[in-house]
Structure 1
Amino acid sequence: MLLLIRIMLAVFGGFSILLAGFLENHSPEIAPSYHLAFISTRSGYLDYQLYRMRADGQIVQQLTYREPDNRTQRSPAWSPDGEWITFTSYGTQTEIYRVRPDGSDLQPFISPLQQRFFGSVSQPNWSPDGRKVAFIANDAGSPEIFVLAIDSNNIQQVTESIGTILEPRWSPDSQWIAFSSNRTGKTEIYKIRADGSDEKRLTDSPGWNRYPSWSPDGQWLTFASDRDGAMQIYRMRADGSGVQQLTSGAASTLPVWSPDGHLIAYVSEGSGKPEIYTMKPDGSQPRQITRSTGDNVYPVWAPPQREERPPIWVPALVGLLILPASLNWRATFSRS
């Protein structure tokens, strides 16, 4: 089956250009302009540092280093505008830092006063509207979710419960936060409104259920679970229904959706140690992205930048057709 795509480009005023071509109807590859941040020990044993790479695994750049403060890193998160990568930094105390995507301007993200109040802060996650950052802080010894308002610098506590709470993840509409908690004696996935109301438990199974990640349309959550033995990746509807297992075999964890919803990046030990892979949202077409002497974990997609959009994800007979974001365009589709 061939797919005929006609694309109208409004270039100069009322002038337009019509592009048409017959394209094979199959799934696209990863756009080279997409990037992932991740944590790796490739620089040394237990030296967990922040890296950036193209989404096809090429052009790897180290962004943080152990010296001079003897720090290791975890849990990266991009700001929605792509200007910063925040992450958990472990040194004399657990803090949240931020750095530019080129490795410059490394600095603490939480103010010294706020840091002294909480003592330990970790696992930052930006709301998609860019207005807030959720994070974990130890409140009287119990890890809870707090939200920092970027404009006002005010901090609000969202959860208050017995047990450990981890991995806050914002929904695409910035209204909900998914997280994992062991408050019932089992580690389950929950969601709660950003104001702390309307909490709902989404999973109910033996073992661990962790690392929730929202699909870009807000309809699905992926997560990792060892309910059937080894840790594997599952997906479920945003209300907890329709659970489907996506991976099998070697242990897999830390799933995260690409911004366009076409792929899920995750960590698998299929090669004998933790490496980053991608797969389709239905679990098909697994592909290994990293190959190094160290562990590669905590993948997180960069947001699509203005100059990277569309891209129009169309695999043509002559390659991937990508339109510049500076052009206005519309596309119509017909089959022949």
Structure 2
Amino acid sequence: MTTMKKLNQVILTAGLALAATGSAYAQMRIEISGVGSNQIPIAVAGFADENVAPQEISAIIKADLERSGAFKIIDAGVITSMNNIDYSGWKAKGADALAVGTVAKLADGNYEVRYKLLDTVKQSELSQLGLSPTPQFVRLTAHKIADDIYLKLTGIRGAFSTRIAYVRQDGPKSFQLMVADADGEGEQMALRSNEPIISPSWSPDGTKVAYVSFEQKKPVVYVQNLITRARTVIANEKGSNSAPTWSPAGNKLAVSLSKDGHTQIYTVNADGSSLKRVSNSAGIDSEAHFAPDGSIYFMSDRSGGPQIYRMNADGGDAKRITFTGNYNISPHVSADGKTLAYISRRDGNYQLYAMDLASGQEQRLSDSTDDLNPSFAPNGKYIMYATQAGGRKSLAVVSVDGRVKQRLTTQAGNIKEPTWGPFMQ
């Protein structure tokens, strides 16, 4: 089975399972501010005959590329043929690259989508794809093409076809765990509860989400399979069970439990077996996050105030990582292990920071005052986090250099507790 077919199979099955809840929600609205330091000028042509498909593929591609802040979009109109391209003419219009494509509806109701990415400077072809999506996957196909453009022109894998999970709260007794495309479209409900849902965390293969639910009138850690909808209790010990996070291999989770009197970090198998304590301090240890090498970053107040530490997966001596400010929480490490995102309270404001782990240099990435729950895109180029403005809770995305910022809002309700899903293999 090809990678694309595997991706389609996983997302379709999960999507149908989630859609079985019968819930429909207004999509999120994205506001973009800022651009990258060196935008790549690209012309994205309207795909020939794309009006036969349920979504306009070229418009989705343009929106993805624009949202990234890495590209300057040049209007190209509609190009009906992918052959006999006037490279010099497009270069004269300021485009270093040109994306063209065609769409055809097949007899079986599916679509044939063809695309080419052309280098107008070298007058050569950079990439081409031929895809045959079902109607449900036309939007995903557009995201995959945008991913291909991002990779070919930046050298970094695109994350437009990934998914996000978050909690929507529509009232004091209305909580939903939601799953959506990375651009907020295709929003579907995975769980509804009258009690709070917090701390969702994607499994490395993108088929499961761990989270904390208060439906038993206390915090309990669950893992939910998005394909089968089956749920497994991972931690329901005496006291608080919180902050699940997956190991890189997906066979274990780290959780924070207070069963021994004060909150410490434990590891547990993905089926809820073999609970093992791995942190040991007289204070509070919580908010564990696995780095790609299997080590664990976590928050501890063992030094008198909450700071971020690192320890091996099986525990042992912990090394303090943050030293600036007296309140640093919610560590999250990028997929390449080079950057740490966290929330720091300074001058009374809770804001998003990023630290280069090699040099220890940090940078403030947000201008808001009440930020929470940072989560990296799987390519490490963007961070999603929860924020609040005007009394409304929403999601925000910022590039790791702080130049590109997005805000994702809804017309009603609050959205919070975001987690960015992995690349689908």
Normalising by structure 2, report the TM-score: 0.61
C-alpha spacing 1:53/1:151, structure 2 compared with 1 (3 Å): closer
C-alpha distance in 1, partners of 2:155/2:382? 11
1:252 is displaced (CA, Å) by 2.4
Q: Which residue of 2 aligns with 1:314?
A: none
Q: Which residue of 2 aligns with 1:311?
A: none
Deviations 1:222-280 (A, max 9, x none): 10111233111111123671011111244323211001112111112245422011111
C-alpha spacing 1:152/1:185, structure 2 compared with 1 (3 Å): closer
Q: 240, 249, 253: which is aligned to 1:129? A: 249
C-alpha distance in 2, partners of 1:163/1:261? 32
Contact 2:232 2:272 (C-alpha < 8 Å) held by counterparts: no
Q: Which residue of 2 aligns with 1:37?
A: 165
2:279 aligned with 1:163, yes or no? no
Normalising by structure 1, report the TM-score: 0.76
C-alpha distance in 2, partners of 1:150/1:24? 37
Between stretches 269-278 and 212-221, larger displacement belongs to 269-278
**CA RMSD, Structure 1 to Structure 2 (Å):** 3.0
- 2:373 partner SS: strand
- 2:254 partner SS: strand
Alignment of 1:1-336 (within 5 A): 2=96, 4=119, 6-7=126-127, 31-42=159-170, 44-45=171-172, 47-66=174-193, 70-90=194-214, 91-101=216-226, 104-110=229-235, 115-116=236-237, 118-150=238-270, 153-174=273-294, 176-238=295-357, 241-270=360-389, 272-306=391-425
1:210 is displaced (CA, Å) by 0.8
1:177 is displaced (CA, Å) by 0.6
- 1:231 partner SS: strand
C-alpha distance in 2, partners of 1:283/1:6? 29
C-alpha distance in 2, partners of 1:262/1:254? 17
Larger Rg: 2
Deviations 1:177-218 (A, max 9, x none): 111112222111111111112311111244421111101110
C-alpha distance in 2, partners of 1:31/1:235? 20
Contact 1:208 1:225 (C-alpha < 8 Å) held by counterparts: yes
C-alpha distance in 2, partners of 1:7/1:24? 8
Could you tell me which runs of 5 or more consecutive residues in structure 2 were left unpaired when the two chains were aligned: 1-39, 41-95, 98-118, 120-124, 130-148
2:233 aligned partner, one-letter code = P
C-alpha distance in 1, partners of 2:159/2:355? 27
Deviations 1:146-184 (A, max 9, x none): 01134893222111112222210000122x111111222
The percentage of aligned residue pairs carrying the same residue is 29
C-alpha spacing 1:271/1:282, structure 2 compared with 1 (3 Å): farther
1:214 aligned partner, one-letter code = V
Aligned pairs, how many? 286
The structure with more helix, counted as a fraction of residues: 2
C-alpha spacing 1:149/1:100, structure 2 compared with 1 (3 Å): closer
Contact 2:159 2:378 (C-alpha < 8 Å) held by counterparts: no
C-alpha distance in 1, partners of 2:243/2:420? 16
C-alpha distance in 2, partners of 1:210/1:233? 10
C-alpha distance in 2, partners of 1:167/1:141? 17
C-alpha spacing 1:240/1:213, structure 2 compared with 1 (3 Å): farther
C-alpha distance in 1, partners of 2:163/2:374? 16
C-alpha distance in 2, partners of 1:48/1:177? 30
Deviations 1:52-110 (A, max 9, x none): 111111121122122xxx43210001111122111011132321112233682234234
